[in-house]
Structure 1
Amino acid sequence: MALETSEDTTTPSLGERFRFGEVQALVTPTVLWFSAFLLAPLAIIAVYSFLTYESFSVVWEFSLTAWESVFDQTVYSTFVRTLVVGVGVTALCLLFGYPIAYYLRFYTSESGGTLLLLFLVIPFWTSALIRTIGWNPILGRTGVINRLLLWVGVVEEPLSWLLFSPFSQMVGYVAAYVVFMAAPIFVSLSQIDEDLLDASETLRGGPVATFRHITLPLSLPGVTIGAIFVFVLSIGDFMVPQFLSGGESTITTLIYLAVNNGLNYPNAAALSIVLLLVIFVVVYAMTRIVDISEITQG
Protein backbone atom coordinates (compact mmCIF):
# COMPACT_ATOMS: atom_id res chain seq x y z
CA MET A 1 0.00 0.00 0.00
CA ALA A 2 1.47 3.30 -1.06
CA LEU A 3 2.05 5.88 1.60
CA GLU A 4 0.46 9.17 0.89
CA THR A 5 2.15 12.28 2.14
CA SER A 6 0.61 15.63 2.12
CA GLU A 7 2.04 19.03 2.77
CA ASP A 8 0.17 21.95 4.16
CA THR A 9 0.22 24.37 1.27
CA THR A 10 -2.61 26.45 2.55
CA THR A 11 -2.16 30.03 1.49
CA PRO A 12 -2.73 32.56 4.26
CA SER A 13 -6.04 34.24 3.87
CA LEU A 14 -6.40 37.92 3.25
CA GLY A 15 -7.55 38.38 6.84
CA GLU A 16 -4.44 36.68 8.25
CA ARG A 17 -2.19 38.82 6.08
CA PHE A 18 -4.05 41.89 7.25
CA ARG A 19 -3.61 40.95 10.89
CA PHE A 20 0.13 40.50 10.34
CA GLY A 21 0.30 43.88 8.69
CA GLU A 22 -1.67 45.38 11.54
CA VAL A 23 0.85 44.05 14.07
CA GLN A 24 3.68 45.56 12.07
CA ALA A 25 1.87 48.88 11.93
CA LEU A 26 1.43 48.87 15.70
CA VAL A 27 5.03 47.87 16.44
CA THR A 28 6.78 50.14 13.93
CA PRO A 29 6.24 53.46 15.79
CA THR A 30 7.66 51.94 18.99
CA VAL A 31 10.69 50.55 17.15
CA LEU A 32 11.31 53.87 15.40
CA TRP A 33 11.02 55.80 18.67
CA PHE A 34 13.30 53.31 20.43
CA SER A 35 15.86 53.54 17.64
CA ALA A 36 15.78 57.32 17.27
CA PHE A 37 15.85 58.29 20.94
CA LEU A 38 17.81 55.44 22.55
CA LEU A 39 19.91 53.44 20.12
CA ALA A 40 21.02 56.40 17.99
CA PRO A 41 22.11 58.56 20.97
CA LEU A 42 23.96 55.60 22.48
CA ALA A 43 25.72 55.04 19.17
CA ILE A 44 26.75 58.69 19.05
CA ILE A 45 28.08 58.52 22.62
CA ALA A 46 30.02 55.37 21.74
CA VAL A 47 31.62 57.09 18.75
CA TYR A 48 32.57 60.14 20.83
CA SER A 49 34.28 57.93 23.40
CA PHE A 50 36.84 56.96 20.75
CA LEU A 51 37.60 60.50 19.58
CA THR A 52 40.55 62.70 20.55
CA TYR A 53 40.28 65.60 22.97
CA GLU A 54 42.54 68.62 22.61
CA SER A 55 42.20 71.87 24.58
CA PHE A 56 38.44 72.32 24.93
CA SER A 57 37.62 70.73 21.59
CA VAL A 58 37.03 67.31 20.06
CA VAL A 59 39.18 66.22 17.16
CA TRP A 60 37.75 63.63 14.81
CA GLU A 61 40.69 61.29 15.17
CA PHE A 62 40.09 57.92 16.75
CA SER A 63 42.09 57.09 19.85
CA LEU A 64 41.81 55.17 23.13
CA THR A 65 42.83 58.08 25.35
CA ALA A 66 39.38 58.47 26.88
CA TRP A 67 39.15 54.75 27.64
CA GLU A 68 42.61 54.76 29.22
CA SER A 69 41.41 57.40 31.68
CA VAL A 70 38.56 55.12 32.73
CA PHE A 71 41.10 52.76 34.31
CA ASP A 72 42.67 55.52 36.38
CA GLN A 73 42.82 54.78 40.11
CA THR A 74 40.69 57.82 40.95
CA VAL A 75 37.98 56.79 38.52
CA TYR A 76 38.10 53.23 39.82
CA SER A 77 37.69 54.40 43.41
CA THR A 78 34.80 56.63 42.37
CA PHE A 79 33.13 53.73 40.61
CA VAL A 80 33.43 51.60 43.73
CA ARG A 81 32.01 54.39 45.87
CA THR A 82 29.14 54.89 43.41
CA LEU A 83 28.23 51.20 43.61
CA VAL A 84 28.46 51.23 47.41
CA VAL A 85 26.19 54.27 47.52
CA GLY A 86 23.73 52.59 45.15
CA VAL A 87 23.60 49.41 47.23
CA GLY A 88 23.27 51.38 50.47
CA VAL A 89 20.46 53.55 49.13
CA THR A 90 18.66 50.48 47.81
CA ALA A 91 18.93 48.76 51.19
CA LEU A 92 17.66 51.83 53.07
CA CYS A 93 14.77 52.32 50.66
CA LEU A 94 13.85 48.67 51.13
CA LEU A 95 14.06 49.09 54.90
CA PHE A 96 11.61 52.00 54.82
CA GLY A 97 9.64 51.14 51.69
CA TYR A 98 8.59 47.60 52.58
CA PRO A 99 6.85 48.57 55.86
CA ILE A 100 5.10 51.42 54.04
CA ALA A 101 3.83 49.08 51.33
CA TYR A 102 2.90 46.43 53.89
CA TYR A 103 0.88 48.91 55.93
CA LEU A 104 -0.90 50.30 52.87
CA ARG A 105 -1.80 46.78 51.74
CA PHE A 106 -2.96 45.13 54.95
CA TYR A 107 -4.01 47.99 57.23
CA THR A 108 -5.88 50.27 54.85
CA SER A 109 -8.65 49.81 52.31
CA GLU A 110 -7.79 49.19 48.67
CA SER A 111 -8.72 52.70 47.59
CA GLY A 112 -7.19 54.22 50.73
CA GLY A 113 -3.87 52.47 50.19
CA THR A 114 -3.70 53.67 46.60
CA LEU A 115 -4.58 57.22 47.66
CA LEU A 116 -1.96 57.30 50.41
CA LEU A 117 0.62 55.93 47.99
CA LEU A 118 -0.14 58.78 45.61
CA PHE A 119 0.72 61.25 48.38
CA LEU A 120 4.31 59.98 48.17
CA VAL A 121 4.37 61.25 44.59
CA ILE A 122 3.44 64.83 45.54
CA PRO A 123 7.10 65.91 46.10
CA PHE A 124 7.77 65.05 42.46
CA TRP A 125 5.49 67.93 41.46
CA THR A 126 8.44 70.22 42.21
CA SER A 127 11.89 70.36 40.65
CA ALA A 128 14.51 67.84 41.76
CA LEU A 129 16.87 70.76 42.39
CA ILE A 130 14.38 72.42 44.74
CA ARG A 131 13.72 69.14 46.55
CA THR A 132 17.46 68.62 47.05
CA ILE A 133 18.41 72.14 48.13
CA GLY A 134 15.34 72.18 50.38
CA TRP A 135 17.25 70.01 52.87
CA ASN A 136 19.64 72.90 53.62
CA PRO A 137 17.24 74.85 55.88
CA ILE A 138 16.29 71.58 57.58
CA LEU A 139 19.68 69.95 58.19
CA GLY A 140 21.99 72.99 58.20
CA ARG A 141 23.76 74.39 61.26
CA THR A 142 21.05 77.06 61.54
CA GLY A 143 18.36 74.72 60.26
CA VAL A 144 15.16 73.52 61.88
CA ILE A 145 16.60 70.35 63.44
CA ASN A 146 19.63 72.04 65.01
CA ARG A 147 17.52 74.89 66.34
CA LEU A 148 15.11 72.41 67.87
CA LEU A 149 17.90 70.39 69.48
CA LEU A 150 19.49 73.54 70.88
CA TRP A 151 16.14 74.78 72.21
CA VAL A 152 15.38 71.47 73.92
CA GLY A 153 18.89 71.32 75.34
CA VAL A 154 19.91 68.02 73.78
CA VAL A 155 23.08 69.56 72.29
CA GLU A 156 25.17 72.58 73.24
CA GLU A 157 26.25 73.47 69.71
CA PRO A 158 24.84 72.76 66.24
CA LEU A 159 25.54 69.34 64.75
CA SER A 160 27.77 69.80 61.71
CA TRP A 161 27.38 66.24 60.40
CA LEU A 162 23.70 66.66 59.56
CA LEU A 163 24.52 68.44 56.30
CA PHE A 164 27.20 67.96 53.64
CA SER A 165 27.94 64.46 54.88
CA PRO A 166 27.12 60.82 54.05
CA PHE A 167 24.13 61.19 56.38
CA SER A 168 22.58 64.07 54.44
CA GLN A 169 23.37 62.31 51.17
CA MET A 170 21.49 59.19 52.24
CA VAL A 171 18.60 61.29 53.54
CA GLY A 172 18.32 62.99 50.17
CA TYR A 173 18.43 59.71 48.29
CA VAL A 174 15.86 57.95 50.48
CA ALA A 175 13.46 60.87 50.44
CA ALA A 176 13.67 60.99 46.65
CA TYR A 177 13.44 57.30 45.82
CA VAL A 178 11.59 55.46 48.59
CA VAL A 179 8.37 55.74 46.58
CA PHE A 180 10.03 53.79 43.74
CA MET A 181 10.56 50.95 46.19
CA ALA A 182 7.20 51.10 47.96
CA ALA A 183 5.03 51.23 44.84
CA PRO A 184 6.14 47.94 43.18
CA ILE A 185 6.06 46.14 46.54
CA PHE A 186 2.55 47.44 47.14
CA VAL A 187 1.49 46.08 43.74
CA SER A 188 2.99 42.66 44.55
CA LEU A 189 1.33 42.55 47.95
CA SER A 190 -2.00 43.55 46.43
CA GLN A 191 -1.85 40.50 44.15
CA ILE A 192 -1.50 37.99 47.00
CA ASP A 193 -4.58 35.78 47.20
CA GLU A 194 -6.39 36.27 50.49
CA ASP A 195 -7.19 32.54 50.54
CA LEU A 196 -3.48 31.78 50.99
CA LEU A 197 -3.34 33.99 54.07
CA ASP A 198 -6.54 32.43 55.43
CA ALA A 199 -5.13 28.94 54.80
CA SER A 200 -2.00 29.80 56.74
CA GLU A 201 -4.09 31.04 59.64
CA THR A 202 -6.24 27.89 59.51
CA LEU A 203 -3.10 25.75 59.69
CA ARG A 204 -2.08 27.73 62.81
CA GLY A 205 0.64 29.65 61.06
CA GLY A 206 1.54 32.71 63.08
CA PRO A 207 2.15 36.17 61.60
CA VAL A 208 5.88 35.54 61.36
CA ALA A 209 5.47 32.16 59.63
CA THR A 210 2.86 33.58 57.25
CA PHE A 211 5.12 36.46 56.33
CA ARG A 212 8.15 34.22 55.90
CA HIS A 213 6.54 31.48 53.80
CA ILE A 214 3.81 33.36 51.92
CA THR A 215 3.96 37.14 51.99
CA LEU A 216 7.70 37.63 51.51
CA PRO A 217 8.22 35.09 48.69
CA LEU A 218 5.22 36.37 46.75
CA SER A 219 6.38 39.96 47.11
CA LEU A 220 9.90 39.33 45.79
CA PRO A 221 9.05 40.41 42.21
CA GLY A 222 7.98 43.80 43.56
CA VAL A 223 11.09 43.99 45.75
CA THR A 224 13.28 43.24 42.73
CA ILE A 225 11.60 45.84 40.53
CA GLY A 226 11.84 48.41 43.31
CA ALA A 227 15.51 47.58 43.85
CA ILE A 228 16.20 48.02 40.14
CA PHE A 229 14.43 51.38 40.09
CA VAL A 230 16.22 52.70 43.18
CA PHE A 231 19.67 51.37 42.26
CA VAL A 232 19.58 52.73 38.71
CA LEU A 233 18.19 56.10 39.74
CA SER A 234 20.52 56.56 42.70
CA ILE A 235 23.81 55.83 40.92
CA GLY A 236 22.70 58.05 38.05
CA ASP A 237 21.61 60.90 40.31
CA PHE A 238 23.54 64.16 40.04
CA MET A 239 21.67 66.53 42.36
CA VAL A 240 22.13 64.70 45.66
CA PRO A 241 25.91 64.09 45.49
CA GLN A 242 26.46 67.57 44.12
CA PHE A 243 24.53 69.48 46.80
CA LEU A 244 24.37 67.18 49.85
CA SER A 245 27.48 64.99 49.89
CA GLY A 246 30.01 67.61 50.89
CA GLY A 247 32.26 67.13 47.88
CA GLU A 248 32.45 63.33 47.66
CA SER A 249 32.21 62.45 43.99
CA THR A 250 30.26 59.81 42.16
CA ILE A 251 30.51 58.84 38.51
CA THR A 252 27.77 61.29 37.59
CA THR A 253 29.75 64.17 39.10
CA LEU A 254 32.86 63.07 37.21
CA ILE A 255 30.85 63.09 33.97
CA TYR A 256 29.51 66.54 34.81
CA LEU A 257 32.98 67.90 35.61
CA ALA A 258 34.44 66.42 32.43
CA VAL A 259 31.93 68.37 30.35
CA ASN A 260 31.54 71.50 32.46
CA ASN A 261 35.21 72.17 33.23
CA GLY A 262 36.81 71.31 29.92
CA LEU A 263 34.22 70.14 27.39
CA ASN A 264 35.92 66.75 27.46
CA TYR A 265 33.14 64.89 25.69
CA PRO A 266 35.20 61.75 24.89
CA ASN A 267 36.02 61.19 28.56
CA ALA A 268 32.42 61.83 29.60
CA ALA A 269 31.19 59.46 26.90
CA ALA A 270 33.53 56.67 28.00
CA LEU A 271 32.47 57.06 31.64
CA SER A 272 28.82 57.04 30.60
CA ILE A 273 29.19 53.81 28.63
CA VAL A 274 30.98 52.08 31.50
CA LEU A 275 28.27 53.21 33.91
CA LEU A 276 25.63 51.91 31.52
CA LEU A 277 27.38 48.54 31.28
CA VAL A 278 27.60 48.28 35.07
CA ILE A 279 23.88 49.03 35.37
CA PHE A 280 23.08 46.45 32.71
CA VAL A 281 25.10 43.74 34.47
CA VAL A 282 23.50 44.46 37.85
CA VAL A 283 19.96 44.57 36.45
CA TYR A 284 20.53 41.39 34.44
CA ALA A 285 21.81 39.56 37.51
CA MET A 286 18.83 40.67 39.59
CA THR A 287 16.31 39.59 36.95
CA ARG A 288 18.01 36.20 36.71
CA ILE A 289 17.57 35.65 40.43
CA VAL A 290 13.91 36.69 40.60
CA ASP A 291 11.35 36.40 37.81
CA ILE A 292 9.88 39.89 37.74
CA SER A 293 7.34 38.89 35.08
CA GLU A 294 5.29 37.26 37.83
CA ILE A 295 4.10 40.70 38.90
CA THR A 296 2.20 41.04 35.62
CA GLN A 297 0.31 37.78 36.08
CA GLY A 298 -1.87 39.04 38.90
Structure 2
Amino acid sequence: MQIGIDVDGLLLDQNIKVNITNIDDNDYICISDFGKYKEGKSKADDIIRNWLRNRITLKFLGTWESIYNPNFNSVEFDGFRKSAGLHTFTLSVTEWCDKTNAIGIYSKRGKYGGTYAHKDIAFEFASAISPVFKLYLIKEFERLKEIESQNREWNVSMITGIIKNKVYTGDLIQQKRKRISFKNHKLIKTKEDELIITKNNHMDIISKEQFARVQDIIKHSVKVNSNNEYDIFSGYLKCAECDSNLTIRKSKEYTYYACSSHVRKRGCNNKHTIRKDFLEEKVITEINNRQDTKIDKLNRKYIFDLINMIYLNQDGSIKIEFKRK
Protein backbone atom coordinates (compact mmCIF):
# COMPACT_ATOMS: atom_id res chain seq x y z
CA MET A 1 0.00 0.00 0.00
CA GLN A 2 1.32 3.44 -0.94
CA ILE A 3 0.34 6.58 0.90
CA GLY A 4 0.93 9.94 -0.75
CA ILE A 5 0.83 13.44 0.69
CA ASP A 6 -1.53 16.28 -0.09
CA VAL A 7 -0.88 19.84 1.13
CA ASP A 8 -4.19 19.90 3.05
CA GLY A 9 -3.95 16.48 4.60
CA LEU A 10 -2.96 12.89 4.07
CA LEU A 11 -3.78 11.42 0.68
CA LEU A 12 -4.26 7.67 0.68
CA ASP A 13 -4.24 5.55 -2.42
CA GLN A 14 -7.57 5.16 -4.25
CA ASN A 15 -7.72 9.01 -4.10
CA ILE A 16 -9.13 9.04 -0.57
CA LYS A 17 -7.88 12.06 1.37
CA VAL A 18 -7.72 12.13 5.16
CA ASN A 19 -8.62 15.62 6.37
CA ILE A 20 -6.78 17.23 9.27
CA THR A 21 -7.87 20.22 11.34
CA ASN A 22 -6.13 22.09 14.17
CA ILE A 23 -7.64 23.19 17.49
CA ASP A 24 -5.45 25.02 20.02
CA ASP A 25 -2.27 23.71 18.35
CA ASN A 26 -3.55 20.12 18.49
CA ASP A 27 -4.08 18.14 15.29
CA TYR A 28 -7.41 16.35 14.87
CA ILE A 29 -7.62 13.74 12.10
CA CYS A 30 -10.84 12.71 10.35
CA ILE A 31 -11.15 9.03 11.23
CA SER A 32 -14.27 8.78 9.05
CA ASP A 33 -11.86 8.93 6.12
CA PHE A 34 -10.07 5.85 7.49
CA GLY A 35 -13.37 3.97 7.39
CA LYS A 36 -13.95 5.05 3.79
CA TYR A 37 -10.55 3.65 2.96
CA LYS A 38 -11.40 0.23 4.38
CA GLU A 39 -15.08 -0.33 3.59
CA GLY A 40 -16.24 2.63 1.51
CA LYS A 41 -18.19 5.74 2.51
CA SER A 42 -21.41 3.94 3.47
CA LYS A 43 -19.67 1.74 6.06
CA ALA A 44 -17.44 4.37 7.70
CA ASP A 45 -19.91 5.28 10.46
CA ASP A 46 -20.56 1.61 11.27
CA ILE A 47 -16.83 0.97 11.72
CA ILE A 48 -16.54 3.90 14.14
CA ARG A 49 -19.60 2.80 16.16
CA ASN A 50 -18.30 -0.77 16.46
CA TRP A 51 -14.89 0.51 17.51
CA LEU A 52 -16.38 2.90 20.07
CA ARG A 53 -18.43 0.21 21.85
CA ASN A 54 -15.34 -1.94 22.38
CA ARG A 55 -14.16 -2.31 26.00
CA ILE A 56 -10.48 -1.74 25.13
CA THR A 57 -11.37 1.37 23.13
CA LEU A 58 -13.34 2.90 26.00
CA LYS A 59 -10.54 2.18 28.44
CA PHE A 60 -8.09 3.99 26.15
CA LEU A 61 -10.43 6.96 25.61
CA GLY A 62 -11.13 7.24 29.34
CA THR A 63 -7.43 7.21 30.16
CA TRP A 64 -6.68 9.86 27.52
CA GLU A 65 -9.49 12.16 28.71
CA SER A 66 -8.46 11.74 32.36
CA ILE A 67 -4.98 12.98 31.50
CA TYR A 68 -5.82 15.86 29.16
CA ASN A 69 -9.36 16.91 30.06
CA PRO A 70 -9.96 18.37 33.57
CA ASN A 71 -13.72 18.51 32.91
CA PHE A 72 -14.05 14.85 31.95
CA ASN A 73 -17.08 13.22 33.60
CA SER A 74 -15.59 10.04 35.06
CA VAL A 75 -18.92 8.98 36.63
CA GLU A 76 -20.64 8.76 33.24
CA PHE A 77 -17.53 7.08 31.84
CA ASP A 78 -17.73 4.32 34.46
CA GLY A 79 -21.28 3.59 33.33
CA PHE A 80 -20.18 3.19 29.72
CA ARG A 81 -17.15 1.13 30.73
CA LYS A 82 -19.25 -1.37 32.68
CA SER A 83 -21.67 -1.81 29.77
CA ALA A 84 -18.98 -2.14 27.10
CA GLY A 85 -18.81 -5.54 25.47
CA LEU A 86 -22.48 -6.40 26.03
CA HIS A 87 -24.43 -7.31 22.89
CA THR A 88 -27.04 -4.66 23.67
CA PHE A 89 -24.52 -1.87 24.25
CA THR A 90 -24.29 0.87 21.61
CA LEU A 91 -22.54 4.22 21.76
CA SER A 92 -22.32 7.11 19.31
CA VAL A 93 -19.71 9.86 19.23
CA THR A 94 -22.40 12.44 20.02
CA GLU A 95 -23.61 10.52 23.09
CA TRP A 96 -20.03 10.02 24.28
CA CYS A 97 -19.31 13.76 24.06
CA ASP A 98 -22.64 14.82 25.60
CA LYS A 99 -22.42 12.51 28.62
CA THR A 100 -18.69 12.67 29.43
CA ASN A 101 -17.79 16.15 28.11
CA ALA A 102 -15.03 14.50 26.07
CA ILE A 103 -12.70 16.65 23.95
CA GLY A 104 -10.58 13.98 22.25
CA ILE A 105 -13.15 13.06 19.60
CA TYR A 106 -16.07 14.96 18.04
CA SER A 107 -18.45 14.98 15.07
CA LYS A 108 -18.43 17.76 12.51
CA ARG A 109 -20.98 18.63 9.85
CA GLY A 110 -20.58 20.35 6.51
CA LYS A 111 -18.28 20.00 3.53
CA TYR A 112 -15.43 18.58 5.61
CA GLY A 113 -17.74 16.77 8.02
CA GLY A 114 -17.12 13.48 9.74
CA THR A 115 -15.73 12.17 13.01
CA TYR A 116 -12.48 13.86 14.03
CA ALA A 117 -10.14 12.57 16.74
CA HIS A 118 -7.01 13.90 18.38
CA LYS A 119 -4.00 12.37 16.66
CA ASP A 120 -3.29 10.13 19.68
CA ILE A 121 -6.78 8.66 19.39
CA ALA A 122 -6.74 8.63 15.59
CA PHE A 123 -3.59 6.51 15.57
CA GLU A 124 -5.25 4.10 18.01
CA PHE A 125 -8.31 3.89 15.76
CA ALA A 126 -6.01 3.16 12.81
CA SER A 127 -5.10 -0.09 14.56
CA ALA A 128 -8.72 -1.16 14.04
CA ILE A 129 -8.13 -0.84 10.30
CA SER A 130 -4.86 -2.78 10.47
CA PRO A 131 -1.48 -2.51 12.26
CA VAL A 132 0.22 -1.90 8.91
CA PHE A 133 -2.19 0.94 8.15
CA LYS A 134 -1.38 2.53 11.52
CA LEU A 135 2.37 2.41 10.89
CA TYR A 136 2.05 3.93 7.43
CA LEU A 137 -0.29 6.60 8.76
CA ILE A 138 2.10 7.66 11.53
CA LYS A 139 5.00 7.76 9.08
CA GLU A 140 3.13 9.90 6.55
CA PHE A 141 1.69 12.18 9.23
CA GLU A 142 5.16 12.90 10.59
CA ARG A 143 6.43 13.59 7.07
CA LEU A 144 3.52 15.94 6.43
CA LYS A 145 4.24 17.90 9.62
CA GLU A 146 7.92 18.13 8.67
CA ILE A 147 7.02 19.59 5.27
CA GLU A 148 4.60 21.99 6.95
CA SER A 149 7.32 23.12 9.36
CA GLN A 150 9.85 23.67 6.56
CA ASN A 151 7.37 25.72 4.52
CA ARG A 152 6.22 27.86 7.43
CA GLU A 153 7.32 31.49 7.23
CA TRP A 154 7.44 33.96 10.07
CA ASN A 155 4.51 36.38 9.97
CA VAL A 156 2.71 38.78 12.29
CA SER A 157 0.17 36.16 13.43
CA MET A 158 2.87 33.66 14.40
CA ILE A 159 4.89 36.25 16.32
CA THR A 160 1.78 37.54 18.11
CA GLY A 161 0.84 33.98 19.03
CA ILE A 162 4.24 33.47 20.65
CA ILE A 163 4.40 36.71 22.64
CA LYS A 164 0.84 36.17 23.94
CA ASN A 165 1.46 32.58 25.06
CA LYS A 166 1.63 32.27 28.87
CA VAL A 167 3.41 28.94 28.60
CA TYR A 168 6.69 30.86 28.26
CA THR A 169 6.20 32.27 31.79
CA GLY A 170 6.24 28.76 33.26
CA ASP A 171 2.46 28.34 33.56
CA LEU A 172 0.42 25.50 32.05
CA ILE A 173 -2.87 26.63 30.48
CA GLN A 174 -5.68 24.10 29.95
CA GLN A 175 -9.28 24.16 28.68
CA LYS A 176 -8.71 27.07 26.26
CA ARG A 177 -11.93 26.23 24.44
CA LYS A 178 -15.19 24.70 25.61
CA ARG A 179 -18.46 23.51 24.12
CA ILE A 180 -21.41 25.92 24.24
CA SER A 181 -23.62 23.24 25.83
CA PHE A 182 -24.14 19.50 25.97
CA LYS A 183 -26.42 19.85 22.93
CA ASN A 184 -24.31 22.33 20.97
CA HIS A 185 -20.81 20.97 20.32
CA LYS A 186 -19.50 24.21 18.83
CA LEU A 187 -16.26 25.22 20.54
CA ILE A 188 -15.90 28.76 21.87
CA LYS A 189 -13.03 30.55 23.57
CA THR A 190 -13.00 30.09 27.34
CA LYS A 191 -13.17 33.26 29.42
CA GLU A 192 -9.92 34.29 31.07
CA ASP A 193 -11.23 33.67 34.60
CA GLU A 194 -12.44 30.16 33.65
CA LEU A 195 -9.12 28.89 32.32
CA ILE A 196 -7.43 26.10 34.25
CA ILE A 197 -3.94 27.40 35.05
CA THR A 198 -1.17 25.48 36.80
CA LYS A 199 1.28 28.10 38.07
CA ASN A 200 5.03 27.53 37.77
CA ASN A 201 4.53 24.17 36.07
CA HIS A 202 7.88 24.37 34.28
CA MET A 203 10.92 26.63 33.89
CA ASP A 204 10.07 30.08 32.55
CA ILE A 205 11.69 31.76 29.54
CA ILE A 206 10.32 35.24 30.28
CA SER A 207 9.43 36.69 33.68
CA LYS A 208 5.78 37.28 34.51
CA GLU A 209 6.49 41.01 34.98
CA GLN A 210 7.97 41.34 31.49
CA PHE A 211 5.12 39.30 30.04
CA ALA A 212 2.52 41.54 31.74
CA ARG A 213 4.13 44.67 30.29
CA VAL A 214 4.10 43.20 26.79
CA GLN A 215 0.42 42.20 27.12
CA ASP A 216 -0.51 45.72 28.23
CA ILE A 217 1.15 47.16 25.13
CA ILE A 218 -0.55 44.63 22.83
CA LYS A 219 -3.96 45.03 24.48
CA HIS A 220 -3.99 48.78 24.01
CA SER A 221 -2.30 48.96 20.62
CA VAL A 222 -3.91 51.30 18.11
CA LYS A 223 -5.51 49.67 15.07
CA VAL A 224 -5.64 51.77 11.90
CA ASN A 225 -8.44 51.27 9.35
CA SER A 226 -8.21 51.26 5.54
CA ASN A 227 -8.52 55.07 5.47
CA ASN A 228 -5.48 55.41 7.75
CA GLU A 229 -7.73 56.49 10.63
CA TYR A 230 -7.74 55.18 14.18
CA ASP A 231 -10.40 55.11 16.86
CA ILE A 232 -9.56 56.74 20.18
CA PHE A 233 -10.98 53.74 22.09
CA SER A 234 -9.08 51.15 20.04
CA GLY A 235 -7.88 48.31 22.30
CA TYR A 236 -9.94 49.45 25.30
CA LEU A 237 -13.45 48.12 24.63
CA LYS A 238 -14.66 44.64 25.54
CA CYS A 239 -17.92 42.77 25.98
CA ALA A 240 -18.57 41.95 29.64
CA GLU A 241 -20.51 38.84 28.61
CA CYS A 242 -17.92 37.00 26.46
CA ASP A 243 -14.75 39.13 26.77
CA SER A 244 -14.63 39.71 22.99
CA ASN A 245 -13.54 43.07 21.62
CA LEU A 246 -16.19 45.60 20.67
CA THR A 247 -16.28 46.47 17.00
CA ILE A 248 -17.04 49.94 15.66
CA ARG A 249 -20.14 50.29 13.48
CA LYS A 250 -21.69 53.20 11.62
CA SER A 251 -25.28 54.05 10.76
CA LYS A 252 -26.53 57.06 8.83
CA GLU A 253 -26.76 59.09 12.03
CA TYR A 254 -24.38 57.60 14.59
CA THR A 255 -21.13 55.79 15.21
CA TYR A 256 -21.52 53.06 17.82
CA TYR A 257 -19.86 49.96 19.28
CA ALA A 258 -21.15 46.38 19.50
CA CYS A 259 -19.83 42.99 20.62
CA SER A 260 -17.86 41.49 17.75
CA SER A 261 -18.90 37.93 18.69
CA HIS A 262 -22.58 38.87 18.67
CA VAL A 263 -22.25 40.71 15.35
CA ARG A 264 -20.56 37.65 13.79
CA LYS A 265 -23.05 35.25 15.44
CA ARG A 266 -20.39 33.37 17.42
CA GLY A 267 -22.44 32.54 20.49
CA CYS A 268 -22.60 35.80 22.50
CA ASN A 269 -26.09 37.02 23.50
CA ASN A 270 -25.07 40.60 24.31
CA LYS A 271 -27.09 42.49 21.70
CA HIS A 272 -26.64 45.93 23.27
CA THR A 273 -24.67 48.74 21.64
CA ILE A 274 -23.23 52.05 22.86
CA ARG A 275 -23.03 55.24 20.84
CA LYS A 276 -19.55 56.74 20.57
CA ASP A 277 -20.65 60.24 21.62
CA PHE A 278 -22.44 58.84 24.70
CA LEU A 279 -19.37 56.78 25.60
CA GLU A 280 -17.08 59.81 25.31
CA GLU A 281 -19.33 61.80 27.65
CA LYS A 282 -19.43 58.93 30.15
CA VAL A 283 -15.63 58.51 30.16
CA ILE A 284 -15.02 62.26 30.54
CA THR A 285 -17.44 62.39 33.49
CA GLU A 286 -15.80 59.41 35.20
CA ILE A 287 -12.30 60.86 34.72
CA ASN A 288 -13.36 64.25 36.10
CA ASN A 289 -14.86 62.54 39.15
CA ARG A 290 -11.49 60.94 39.92
CA GLN A 291 -9.10 63.87 39.53
CA ASP A 292 -8.81 67.55 40.37
CA THR A 293 -7.81 68.65 36.86
CA LYS A 294 -10.97 68.67 34.79
CA ILE A 295 -11.10 67.88 31.07
CA ASP A 296 -13.73 68.67 28.46
CA LYS A 297 -12.25 66.61 25.62
CA LEU A 298 -10.73 63.15 25.44
CA ASN A 299 -7.36 62.27 24.00
CA ARG A 300 -5.48 59.00 23.75
CA LYS A 301 -3.03 59.91 26.56
CA TYR A 302 -5.81 60.30 29.14
CA ILE A 303 -7.18 56.89 28.24
CA PHE A 304 -3.77 55.19 28.24
CA ASP A 305 -2.67 56.72 31.55
CA LEU A 306 -5.90 56.19 33.48
CA ILE A 307 -7.99 53.38 32.00
CA ASN A 308 -7.31 49.66 31.92
CA MET A 309 -10.47 48.52 30.09
CA ILE A 310 -14.05 49.57 29.30
CA TYR A 311 -16.79 46.90 29.35
CA LEU A 312 -20.21 46.85 27.69
CA ASN A 313 -22.55 45.06 30.10
CA GLN A 314 -25.45 42.75 29.25
CA ASP A 315 -27.96 45.46 30.25
CA GLY A 316 -26.34 48.06 27.98
CA SER A 317 -24.53 49.93 30.77
CA ILE A 318 -20.81 50.69 30.74
CA LYS A 319 -18.23 49.67 33.34
CA ILE A 320 -14.92 51.52 33.31
CA GLU A 321 -11.99 49.69 34.90
CA PHE A 322 -9.39 52.26 35.97
CA LYS A 323 -5.71 51.53 36.50
CA ARG A 324 -4.52 51.40 40.07
CA LYS A 325 -2.45 54.36 41.15
Which is greater in Rg? 1
* Smaller-chain TM-score bracket: under 0.3
- Higher relative CO (CA 8 A, sep ≥ 6), structure 1 or 2? 1
